[in-house]
Amino acid sequence: MGYSVIECSQKKIRLCEMHALRLSSNKNNYERLHLIYEKVRELIALYKPHEFAIEAPFFGKNVQSMLKLGRAQGVAIAAAMHSNLPITEYSPRKVKQAVTGNGNASKEQVWKMLQQMLSIEELPQYFDATDALAVAVCHFYQYSSPIPQVAGFKGWEDFIKKNPDRIK
């Protein structure tokens, strides 16, 4: 499981932490889920985030893998809910689109873009960590965009059309 914490001030992003939690195959599934829950709670206690973003499950062919992934994501979400954090999910395509401009970008392309954007020198050991950073950056872009994100608007054109009295 990859995780990342960023600090956002105005239009700037600063990487606080980016790692992957490697879970031993010697532990049973419930012990692994407990470790995920504890790690998320530890990160929340340490950094005191205002929001929690996670990659939405994608649909694969292996049902057992999907079930394990869904449980892991559920435990991470439960840890965030325990701290009353607002939770947002993003599809893998949305994350790639936000970071690279291409919803079909490879993990390597996403990492290279993150490296340039955040001036990161070291190569992470696992792409799970960079995936988590990409989700955090996508979330930042989603909420710092000048395009109205209020439900019911599809962009500036739609906003103007529905609010002609606000234009001078």
Q: Which residues are catalytic?
A: 55, 128
| 42 known member of a binding site | no
Distances (CA, A) of 17 to 25, 39, 98, 168: 25, 13, 20, 45
Measured distance CA(29)–CA(72) in Å, rounded: 9
Contacts of 62 (CB under 8 A, 6+ apart): none
Phi, psi of 143, rounded to the nearest 5 degrees: -100, -5
Measured distance CA(131)–CA(126) in Å, rounded: 9
Among 90, 116, 117, 113, CA closest to 102: 113
| 55 known member of a binding site | yes
Among 66, 69, 67, 34, CA closest to 54: 69
What does DSSP say about strands 2-9 and 52-55: parallel, antiparallel, or unpaired?
Answer: unpaired
Query: How far out from the chain centre does Cα 93 lie?
Result: 12
Residue numbers in the known binding site for Mg(2+) are: 55, 128
